[in-house]
Amino acid sequence: MSMVRMMSIYVLAALMTVSTAFAAGQHVVPPAQIATTVADHVAKQDADRTAVREALARPEVERMATTIGLDLTRAKAAVETMSGADLERAATAARDVNQQLVGGASTVVISTTTIIIALLIVIIIILIAD
């Protein structure tokens, strides 16, 4: 019985060696494409974080955060740890805020206030979840 096991082990080892050598030069996805995809993902996350930081730096957002009692320092620090769907939602809300307030509008309309509150609520939820 041990002779059969030893032969089986040798046969399996030989097959693994041959299959590894045969597949060594083949990639399902080229390494350059993987590197590009990772770099694009990192760049998108950086752009999302920048949008959220810009929105949080706006005076209107600071006033709203003060009104509802949110610590903006903690919220700004949370932006650096955000990722995935949370970061995308916060960035979408932040871009809406940034777009609404572009050009230094002297008045803030209700929709902008709503967007600012939504951004702050997303960040508060993320802070509570951590």
pLDDT band at 118 (very low <50, low <70, confident <90, very high): confident
Residue 105 has pLDDT above 70, yes or no: no
Residue 1 has pLDDT above 70, yes or no: no
pLDDT at 44: 92
Q: Return the number of other C-beta atoms located less than 10 Å from residue 32's C-beta.
A: 9
Mean pLDDT within 90-103: 77
The single-letter code of the amino acid at 31 is P
* pLDDT tens for each residue of 19-55: 665 655 666 778 888 889 889 998 999 999 998 888 8
Percent of the chain topping pLDDT 70: 78
HSE at residue 49, side-chain half, CA atoms within 13 A, is 15
